[in-house]
Amino acid sequence: VPELPEVETVRARLEPILVGRRLDQVEILDSRLTRPHDPGLVAARLLGGRVGAVERRGKYVIVRFESGCVLLIHLRMTGSLLRVHAGEELSVAHARAVVILDNGSAVVYRDVRRFGTWLLLEPDEVGPYLDARLGHEPLERRFGPRVLERSLAARRAPLKAALLDQRVVAGLGNIYADEALWRARLHPLRPAHGLDAAERAALTRGIRSALRTGLARQGATLRDYRTPDGATGSMQSEFRVYGRAGEPCPRCRAPIEKTRVGGRGTWYCPACQPLAAAQAGLAASARSS
DNA sequence: AGGTGGACCCGAACGC
DNA sequence: TGCGTTCGGGTCCACC
């Protein structure tokens, strides 16, 4: 599941492959990819374009062309972008699009579940499109407890459900949300608006440290995620709670529990991520003493 | 308006 | 062994 660390790793690896290259052939093999737009028309508009930059915002890969046009790629669940060197076998299982570059190498878009999207936008459409869907980048300086205070204030939803809203924290997904909450010692079912200042500060640190660890490990490979060179990430071996029901909490040895929040599998430590107010109060006074 | 649950997908894991 | 069922997860959308 590509979240911020996985998408950023893909972006960084893709950048030297694409920047300065011209698209000599573009084939879109699955009409779902560009829907509701005609895949043939999108391919025709991409053809001949020269890539100026490869950026990221939230979970979107942003491919900027020198013409000003922008291709927004979202990998959703199982999308991946693979580089194929000139002369190598181009056929890839579940390939949904193939781009041949002017140096003979190719980039194949692969997506088992077909949720991923390619959206081609005009220069002036990109900012509004992303700003309508995404909040602050959690690794930028502007993000912090004050931003969380504002975005969580009116929200009665469970904290984890709010964190999965991309307008609250751009790029956080199911895995890093659980990892961030564990690091912040916050229960995923705490009401989002009920955090105090110290807890918002802890949450800021938890989000950043979970994401930075993921970046340093080049993401987590559970099944489909690969970097463009086909390498796996190693963050899965650093998970503190995600997918670890019944195993001891790395901090306090209590067994990790699994529940569902907002329809998603959610793992947490019932001992160091207390839900009850009394326990939360005890934990707070223990921290301050 | 904010919250919730279903739809979209398909392979793997599971149950009988 | 084989077949049907369940699961999962990012985002959008319909419905409270």
pLDDT tens for residues A118-164?
999 999 999 999 999 999 999 999 999 999 999 999 899 999 999 99
Q: Given a cut of 50, is residue A26 above it in pLDDT? A: yes
Report the pLDDT value the prediction gives residue A286, as an integer from 0 to 100. 46
A251 touches strand B (CB under 7 A): no
Residue from A53, A58, A85 nearest A71 by CA: A53
d(CA A80, CA A116): 9
Instruction: Convert the pLDDT of each residue in A66-101 to its tens digit.
Output: 999 999 999 999 999 999 999 998 889 999 999 999
Which value, in Å, is the radius of gyration of the alpha carbons in chain A? 21
pLDDT of residue A89: 86
Distance in angstroms, CA of A2 to C1' of B8? Answer: 18
Cα torsion through A166, A171, A173, A179, rounded to 10: -120
Tokens (6 digits) for A12: 């960084």
Q: What is the dihedral of CA A256, A239, A158, A265, to 10 degrees?
A: -70
Q: Which residues of A are catalytic?
A: 2-3, 59, 264
| Terminal-residue alpha carbon distance, chain A | 40
Protein contacts on strand C: list nucleotides below 7 Å from a Cβ. Answer: 7-12
Nucleotides of B under 7 A from a protein CB: 2-6, 8-12
CB of A87 within 8 A of CB of A104? yes
- How high is the mean pLDDT of chain A? 93
Q: Which letter does DSSP use for residue A238 in this model?
A: G
- Strand C closer than 7 A to residue A174 Cβ: yes
C-alpha dihedral sign at A239, A244, A247, A248 = positive
CB of A223 nearer than 7 A to strand B: yes
Q: pLDDT digit string (tens) for A104-123? A: 999 999 999 999 999 999 99
**Letter for the amino acid at A84?**
V
* Sheet with A70-74: strands ordered across: A51-57, A60-65, A70-74, A117-121
A204 CB-side CA count, 13 A: 21
Q: Max alpha carbon distance in chain A (Å)?
A: 66
Residue A223 banded pLDDT, cuts 50, 70, 90: confident
pLDDT-based confidence at residue A277 (cuts at 50, 70, 90):
low
Residue range A205-221: mean pLDDT, rounded:
95
Q: How far apart are CA A246 and CA A255, in angstroms?
A: 5
Residue A281 confidence (pLDDT): 47
